[in-house]
Structure 1
Amino acid sequence: MKTTISTAVVASILASAAMAADKSVTIASWGGSYQEAQSKALFEPAAANTGVEVKQETYGGMSDVRLQVSSGQVTLDIVASGSGSAARAAAEGLLEKLDYGVIDVSNFYPTLYSDYCVGGDVFSTVYAWNTDTFGEDGPQSWADFFDVEKFPGKRAYRGKVAGALEPAILADGVAPEDVYEVLGSEEGIERALNKIRELKPHIDVFWTSGAQHAQLMKDGEVDMTTGWNGRFDNAKKDGAKVAYSFNQALLDYDCFAIPKGAPNKDVAMEFLNEISKPEYQDDLPKYITYGPTNKAAYDTGEITADVAAGLPSSPDNAAKQVPVSLDWYAEWETIAAEMYQEMLTE
């Protein structure tokens, strides 16, 4: 019996073979359990399916990219980055513009990619509370988080400006859709700072890392804190009495960028397209409690309803949140950071 192979299958085989021909990419990420999750869900399967050789490194962030680009000695083809860091690096001219004719983002949330960085995973800045203090009936809005009469107790708050002003301006009554318009002036930033000043007598710790805010909850040192959902999930697994809500949370993402002058830029574009597909992204939650950026990953059957209920980018949870504005951070972060540090030292 004669077997026929569809034109589409032939085209796919030829495309993979063409992509693999003596091709490699060097990818840098942050190491630890995060890079391990990326490697297992994205990098290794994509390498196996395309034949592209993937070399992995760990790096210190965009400062390493800046050094490579400025010296003309670029060795990295793809780097993992926070969305805000990527926005600033792009503004500095450190990144290649991504080709969305090659990278298919048709099923991505529109706020989870930019001209210079394509989303790799989604996380949320949330308010979390100690369930020994408040049970399951903790705060359900940023106004609740700032209400020390309704919810008395010790707070912890972000010690850096990223993710610090939005909760304050929401607590001050600004509608979610107007947050960045209001923050788009020094007067608006000062309004948010004034709200934090009101809370400051009740803030015991201004945290500076995810490990720190998770430890504060594990040790029961504070009754409430801001922080990243994945860190609280891990803390809860370790026995922390902690709960959080996605309502009014800040929807943010980590992304992949290509340094300016990357030696394998074209292969990097193709590889980013590959790892953006739902059949890779639906494996991420198996290794880390961050959500996929490709909405179609929720339709493959790999992510159960129970798992989806705990992921920031699931449709139900995403609808409750405020997407972080990279345009705002690119324009205002430097000024806002200076004003924030002044407030911290008052």
Structure 2
Amino acid sequence: MLRSGLISRTTYRAALLVACATMFANTALAQDTITIASWGGNYQEALSKAIWQPTAEKLGITILEDTTNGLADVRAQVSANSVLWDITELTIDGCAQGEAEGLFEDLDYSVIDKSGFDPAVVQRTYIGLNYYSNVIGWNKDKFKEGPQSWADFWDVEKFPGRRSLRNDPAEVLEAALLADGVAPDQLYPLDLDRAFKSLEKIKPHISVWWSSGAQSAQLVADGEVDLIGAWNGRISAAIKSGAPFDFTFNQGLLIADCLVIPKGVKNKDLAMKALATAVSAEMLANLPQYIDYGPANLKAYETGKITPEIAKTLNTAPENAAKQAVVRGDWWGKHGAEARERWAQFINQ
């Protein structure tokens, strides 16, 4: 039987070869092993240490780890009836859209304790994991005081320099509307015409459209951009490693990441138990020790693991959350396909 613990992506193939060489490998793989997929980079390393390694140890199972680029990967696996991941992490817009498309298994809330969660992130096929924020960051060597709003980010005369935004409409459409003067509490329903008109203004000044959190962190770490709209944990990790950057929670876009079980997994029961363990208060309370993201299970703050000093740095701290707008997964569940179709046209023009 495979040793309990978590095996990184680089040893995934080797682990499978060893397993196949043993007499009871097929049984072990079928009964005691699941594969999770997350976003890679320093974020996945943090999640591994905080949640997946302790989950594997607690349940006495093996958890293999892979990376995903998002909903399209899950859709492709489900459509091909070849599901590789037992649990997948997605942003809430992807979760809502995937649920609408029927791509996920129903979650069993007799196994999963949902009592510590905002009802908005507890749905039939997905549950929240943590909250991250798309924030405005800047190179301190370039600017003594960086942009404090998306309108400032759009102002290329006041803040000249190399810019980067996410290569995805989620969060970026909201930022474009805020830059155009829409009030944070008036964002939804998103005015797509207005958002894309705003994006046309900034598009010529975007040096890099980043496609993964790991890439955005590398852009910051390497000093390849002067201004960026990126996830706060990625920027703060680069800062801790020495990058001369800073960011603000002003007009940040607060987004939930969630966990799903793709439709057709072969190890559904074990995946359900692992998911339930991963989102427990005790497990999620570990996450801020490794990266500055707020746990979705608010009971994590009652465990004693999150000190008041750490809590103040998190995007979900009351004073930080009050400065931000919440990205609504329900809107993206209904309109995500249309928004992404328009985005593809926009980005390829």
Q: Is the 8 A contact 2:34 2:270 kept in 1?
A: no
Q: Is the 8 A contact 2:35 2:84 kept in 1?
A: no
- One-letter amino acid of the counterpart of residue 124, structure 1: S
Partner residue in 1 for 2:313? 310
Partner residue in 2 for 1:102? 111
Partner residue in 2 for 1:16? none
In structure 1, how many angstroms separate the alpha carbons of the residues matched to 2:221 and 2:85? 37
* 1:198 paired residue among 198, 201, 210: 201
Q: For each residue in 1:184-205, what CA deviation from the matched residue of structure 2 results, as whole angstroms up to 9, or x when unmatched?
A: xxxx212111112223343333
In structure 2, how many angstroms separate the alpha carbons of the residues matched to 1:310 and 1:208? 26
Partner residue in 1 for 2:27? none
Partner residue in 2 for 1:18? none
Say which SS state the counterpart of residue 164 (structure 1) adopts.
helix
In structure 1, how many angstroms separate the alpha carbons of the residues matched to 2:325 and 2:279? 23
- One-letter amino acid of the counterpart of residue 130, structure 2: D
For the pair 1:248 / 2:248, whether they are aligned, the reply is: no
Q: Is the 8 A contact 1:298 1:314 kept in 2?
A: no
In structure 2, how many angstroms separate the alpha carbons of the residues matched to 1:192 and 1:120? 29
Q: Is the 8 A contact 1:111 1:323 kept in 2?
A: no
Query: How far off is 1:241 after superposition?
Result: 1.5
Partner residue in 2 for 1:160? 168
In structure 1, how many angstroms separate the alpha carbons of the residues matched to 2:84 and 2:223? 44
Q: How does 1:1-346 map to 2 (within 5 A)?
A: 24=32, 26-30=34-38, 33-49=42-58, 51-58=59-66, 60=68, 62=71, 65-66=74-75, 68-72=77-81, 74=83, 76-135=85-144, 137-181=145-189, 183=190, 188-346=191-349
In structure 1, how many angstroms separate the alpha carbons of the residues matched to 2:176 and 2:324? 15
Range with bigger deviation, 92-101 or 117-126: 92-101
Q: Is the 8 A contact 1:76 1:263 kept in 2?
A: no
Say which SS state the counterpart of residue 313 (structure 2) adopts.
coil
Q: Is the 8 A contact 1:156 1:225 kept in 2?
A: yes
Q: For each residue in 1:133-173, what CA deviation from the matched residue of structure 2 results, as whole angstroms up to 9, or x when unmatched?
A: 222x3222222222334434443223332221101111222
Two-structure CA RMSD over aligned residues (Å): 2.8
In structure 2, how many angstroms separate the alpha carbons of the residues matched to 1:328 and 1:322? 14
Say which SS state the counterpart of residue 249 (structure 1) adopts.
strand
The answer for unaligned runs of 5 or more in structure 2 is: 1-29
Change (3 A) 1:71 1:168: closer
- One-letter amino acid of the counterpart of residue 161, structure 1: P
Q: Is the 8 A contact 1:129 1:224 kept in 2?
A: yes
- One-letter amino acid of the counterpart of residue 144, structure 1: D
Change (3 A) 1:42 1:223: closer
- One-letter amino acid of the counterpart of residue 254, structure 2: L
TM (norm. structure 1) is 0.80
Q: Is the 8 A contact 1:214 1:231 kept in 2?
A: yes
Change (3 A) 1:340 1:106: same
TM (norm. structure 2) is 0.79
Larger of the two Rg values belongs to structure? 1
Change (3 A) 1:323 1:300: same
Aligned residues: 318
- One-letter amino acid of the counterpart of residue 176, structure 2: A
Query: How far off is 1:257 after superposition?
Result: 0.9
Q: For each residue in 1:202-223, what CA deviation from the matched residue of structure 2 results, as whole angstroms up to 9, or x when unmatched?
A: 3333333334433433444433
Range with bigger deviation, 285-294 or 31-40: 31-40
In structure 1, how many angstroms separate the alpha carbons of the residues matched to 2:139 and 2:251? 19
Q: Is the 8 A contact 1:130 1:224 kept in 2?
A: yes
